[in-house]
Structure formats: C-alpha cells, structure tokens
Amino acid sequence: MRNPQRTEKIAFFFLLLATLLIVVPVGLIIVVIIQKGAPAINWQFLTDMPRQGMRAGGIFPAIVGTIYLVSGAILFALPIGLLAAVYLSEYAKDNFLTRIIKLAIVNLAGVPSVVYGLFGLALFVVFFKFGASILSGALTLGIMILPIIITASREALESVPYSFREVSLSLGASKWQTIRNIVLPNAIPGILTGTILGLGRAAGETAPILFTVAAFYLPQLPQSIFNQAMALPYHLYVISTQVPNVDEKIRYGTALVLLALVLFMNLIAIIIRYRFRKKKKW
C-alpha cells in the first residue's frame, strides 16, 4: 500500500540530495583553493613580477592583464548588447527573421569558447591587423559575452509590465520616451545580472585569449592596448602544465586570486543592482 507521507519523505530526500550534490562540490572547491592558496597570498605576491621562470615572485602583470581584458570586454559588449536588446524587444517586428535572430543569439551563448578564440584570431588579430593585443583579446571576450548580455537584457526588458508602456504612451509620451523613462530604469537590475554573468565568464575563460592576447611571460606591464598581456587564467594554465617544478602554493594562490577577483567584480555589480532595486517603487 502506498503511504503518501513516506512518498513525500523519499521525494524530499532526493531533492535534498540533488541540492547537496551541487553545493558540496562548490564548497569543496572553494575550501581547497583557499586552504592551499592562502599561504601564498601576501603583498609581494599581488604586486610583484614573476621571477625565476615564474617559479617565484608575484603575479601582478596577470592581475593587471585580466582587469584590462574584462573592463575592455564589458566596455565593448554592454552598450552594444543593451542597444541590441532594446531593439529586439521593443522595436523589431515579430516576424520570421526576428525569431531566427533571437534563436541564433541564444545558441551563440552555448558556442564553445575556443571557437570564439579562433574567430577572434581570424578577425581581429589577422584581418584587422590588431595583432595579438589587449584590443583583440578584449573584443574577442566581448563577442563571447554579447549573447549572455543580450539574452539577459531582453528578458529584463520584457519583464517590465506591458501596462506601464501603455500608460506612458496614453499620456502622449513617444515610444523612445517610454523606453528611456519607464522601461529601461525598471530593467536595470536584470541587465546588471546579465552583465555579472558576462563578467565572470570573461574573467575566467582561457581559450578566447589564448590566440588573441595572452603572453606566456612578459617582463613588463602592457604599455598600450596594442600590447600583449598576461592574464590570470592563462597564467594558471602555464604554471600548471608548461613550467615544471612550480610550487603548488603559487598555483593555488593564482587560482585564489582569480576567484577573488571574479567575486569582487560580482560584488560591485550586486551592490549596484541592490541600490537600483531599493529605488524601485513597485
């Protein structure tokens, strides 16, 4: 005979198990990285150049490079992504072509990052002759996170109630005034969520920067956007697989810095989003 309470208990157990299966590995990863990486973290490690073939010294140029790349990618992708999202959700007629474009953008978000790397190599490095440079890398990362930003922004725009638009239009506001004054301010939290996701992805990816910007080792900081740069994820890859006898401490320290950097950028975006949500009046 079936006992509904027992069924519920079993179901509850499996739901809890599924949640734990997600939480526990994430927790373990963070614990292990902190445990093994924390001893490496000191002021010198954060602000010094790598020494002795990257077996000692700091990771300063990689930190700087990653910050440049992520900022450049956001600077490029956020305005374009936002404008595209506004066009797609507010202006574009709902026809076959628009639906194809929307579908394509969603699919682009799932394209493997190494494909973006190859695309960046062909377009920015070779065709536009930017060479392997911060510019090429930032643009490649920007293109990679565009679909994420567009999709999240579209969802944010479309979640603003239709009645607000109708009211605004009925008061004699033009379509652009309606978007500018009513739709966009209420979509900002959602747009920032998309940007946070994009930020994290841009900071962590190795493949797109592999061919477009990343340097194995540079003795100095980049002087302009046409220079190559070191970056944390690639540096981590290099000291983990390409350079023998690197102290485990340094490798985990690098991973910890990368993790902290991404979390820190997320934190900033979360604070901005929180501020906007608090201002929201409905």
Rounded-to-integer distance, Cα 76 and Cα 68, Å: 12
When binding is defined by CB under 8 A, the residue of 2, 6, 129, 281 that contacts another protein is: 281
Site of tokens 């699919």? 107
Burial of 112 (0-12, 13-18, 19+ CB in 10 A): exposed
7 in contact with another protein (CB under 8 A) = no
Q: CB–CB of 58/46 below 8 Å?
A: yes
Say which amino acid occupies 6: R
When binding is defined by CB under 8 A, the residue of 7, 35, 159, 174 that contacts another protein is: 174
Q: CB–CB of 133/226 below 8 Å?
A: yes
Interface of this chain with another protein, residues 111 to 130, rule: CB under 8 A: none
159 in contact with another protein (CB under 8 A) = no
Q: CB–CB of 100/269 below 8 Å?
A: no
When binding is defined by CB under 8 A, the residue of 26, 171, 224, 241 that contacts another protein is: 171
Least CB distance to another protein at residue 278 (A): 12
Q: How far is Cα of residue 10 from the mean position of the Cα atoms in its chain?
A: 38
C-alpha distances (whole Å) from 69 to each of 212, 232, 265 are 11, 11, 13
When binding is defined by CB under 8 A, the residue of 35, 44, 159, 177 that contacts another protein is: 177
Which region among 7-15, 108-116, 118-126, 177-185 touches another protein (by CB under 8 A)? 177-185
Least CB distance to another protein at residue 170 (A): 5
Least CB distance to another protein at residue 140 (A): 38
Q: CB–CB of 145/84 below 8 Å?
A: no
When binding is defined by CB under 8 A, the residue of 2, 5, 129, 172 that contacts another protein is: 172
Tokens representing 142 are: 């920007």
Least CB distance to another protein at residue 101 (A): 18
User: How much of the chain is in helix, strand and coil states, percent to nearest 5?
Assistant: 75, 0, 20
Rounded-to-integer distance, Cα 62 and Cα 234, Å: 9
Which of 127/282 has CB closer to another protein?
A: 282
278 in contact with another protein (CB under 8 A) = no
CA dihedral 243, 248, 250, 251 (to 10 degrees): 70
Interface of this chain with another protein, residues 55 to 94, rule: CB under 8 A: 94
Which region among 132-140, 144-152, 176-184, 215-223 touches another protein (by CB under 8 A)? 176-184
Q: Residue 51 phi/psi, 5° resolution?
A: -130, 170
163 in contact with another protein (CB under 8 A) = yes
169 in contact with another protein (CB under 8 A) = yes
168 in contact with another protein (CB under 8 A) = yes
4 in contact with another protein (CB under 8 A) = no
Strand partners, 17: none
Residues that bind another protein (CB under 8 A): 94, 163-164, 166-174, 177, 181-182, 185-186, 280-282
